[in-house]
Amino acid sequence: MFTVDPKSPLPIYEQLVTQIIRSIARGLLRSGEQMPSVRELAGTLLVNPNTVSRAYQELESRNFIVTMRGKGSFISDIPLSEVKQAAIQDPLIRLCSVADELSISNEELYQLILHIREDSSC
């Protein structure tokens, strides 16, 4: 269900957070559905349990999951519109950061996004 790329510049816990949010946005994970335990997911992905725990803590702080002691972590009942907005927000922040580094104006960035959306299958 989830994968990690050790060569990615993004920390593994952030990769997990992003993938889980996108899975919720795409309807692959639904409200009330139980997440794998920290140890189970860490074992599957061959990562340190602390990494998965950090991802779950981040997701809980952003209200995407609820953790019940002794029962596990579950997908929150959060409006799909909020999930979709969150799924796109982090990549947009990184894009804006790169645009700032390259002195690309908001208008230029907007036009570039429109051009890409028109010319590609996205």
The owner of tokens 């920390």 is 11
Read off the tokens for 2: 């989830």
pTM value? 0.82
Tens of pLDDT, residue by residue over 75-99, are: 999 999 999 999 898 889 989 999 9
CATH 1.10.230.10 fits 12-78, yes or no: no
Reply yes or no on whether the pLDDT at 35 is more than 70: yes
Phi-psi region of 17 (alpha: psi -120 to 50; beta: other; left: phi over 0): alpha
Strands (E), the chain: 65-68, 72-75
Q: Where are the domains of the chain?
A: 12-78, 81-119
d(C-alpha 11, C-alpha 51), whole Å: 9
Reply yes or no on whether the pLDDT at 24 is more than 80: yes
Reply yes or no on whether the pLDDT at 122 is more than 70: no
